[in-house]
């Protein structure tokens, strides 16, 4: 298995989005998945995904329960936690990857416009906007994998990968879409 972390966000109950998680995991040979929320419900501001199938998404995501670290999206509710076999109700989470700090939040509580106090060089992961990003600002690496099912502003469906080089956003066909390297600490 590859030592990388797969980063996904904003599935919104779309079967194609959950299947993209499986395909990206297999293609990149990774074990661990960071899920930035909005797993099942499409929300009142989004169109219903063309392949909205939350029961099938539940089945796929629960099959990955032992390798998912997730945070709550603005569309998650208590009922989602009742059907998902991995925790999805935390507003944020923090972990280390090769001695580098990663802070993850969906983006509606903490986001690029409202950041917590984090040390220099931290990778800040958020979803919510459905727009992929990877850039440095004020000593933080701000990264968004985009959406695996409902991309916005003309972007394709995308996912992210964290490895020793930094954060890379990939398209559905596993082509590099953007990249930002780790900051020197």
What's the structural domain count of the chain? 1
- Could you write out the DSSP letters of every residue in 23-83? HHHHHHTEEEEEE-S--S---TTSPPPTTB-HHHHHHHHHTTGGGEEE---TT--HHHHHH
What are the phi and psi torsion angles at 81 (to 5°)? Answer: -65, -30
pLDDT tens figures, 75-124: 999 999 999 999 999 999 999 999 999 999 999 999 999 999 999 999 99
Tokens, residue 86? 């991995």
- CA dist list (Å): 72 to 81, 91, 108: 10, 5, 9
pTM above 0.85, yes or no: yes
CB 170 within 8 A of CB 160: yes
Q: What is the CATH number of the domain that holds 93?
A: 3.60.21.10
* pLDDT class of 38 with cuts at 50, 70, 90: very high
Nearest to 76 by CA among 90, 94, 95: 90
pLDDT tens figures, 22-32: 999 999 999 99
Cα-to-chain-centroid distance, residue 22: 13
The whole-number average pLDDT for the span 11-35 is 97
Nearest to 104 by CA among 5, 22, 175, 15: 5
What are the phi and psi torsion angles at 60 (to 5°)? Answer: -65, -50
- The pLDDT of residue 93: 97
* Residue-averaged pLDDT of the chain: 95
Q: Which domain holds residue 136?
A: 2-181
Could you tell me the end-to-end alpha-carbon distance of the chain, in angstroms, rounded to an integer? 27
CB 159 within 8 A of CB 8: yes
Share of the chain above pLDDT 90, in %: 93
């Amino acid at each position: 298995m590859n030592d990388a972390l797969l980063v996904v966000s904003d599935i919104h109950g779309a079967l194609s989005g959950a299947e993209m998680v499986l395909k990206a995991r297999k293609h990149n040979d990774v074990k661990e998945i960071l899920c930035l929320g909005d797993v099942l419900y499409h929300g009142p501001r989004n169109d219903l995904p063309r392949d909205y199938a939350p029961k099938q998404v539940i089945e796929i995501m629960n099959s990955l329960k032992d390798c998912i670290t997730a945070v709550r999206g603005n569309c998650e509710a208590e009922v989602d936690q009742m059907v998902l076999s991995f925790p999805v109700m935390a507003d944020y989470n923090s972990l280390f990857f090769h001695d580098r700090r990663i802070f993850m939040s969906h983006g509606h509580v903490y986001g690029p416009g409202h950041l917590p106090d984090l040390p220099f060089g931290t990778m800040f992961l958020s979803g919510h906007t459905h727009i992929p990003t990877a850039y440095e600002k004020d000593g933080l690496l701000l990264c968004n994998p985009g959406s695996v099912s409902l991309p916005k502003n003309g972007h394709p469906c995308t996912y992210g990968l964290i490895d020793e080089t930094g954060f890379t956003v990939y398209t559905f066909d596993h082509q590099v879409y953007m990249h930002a390297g780790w900051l020197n600490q």
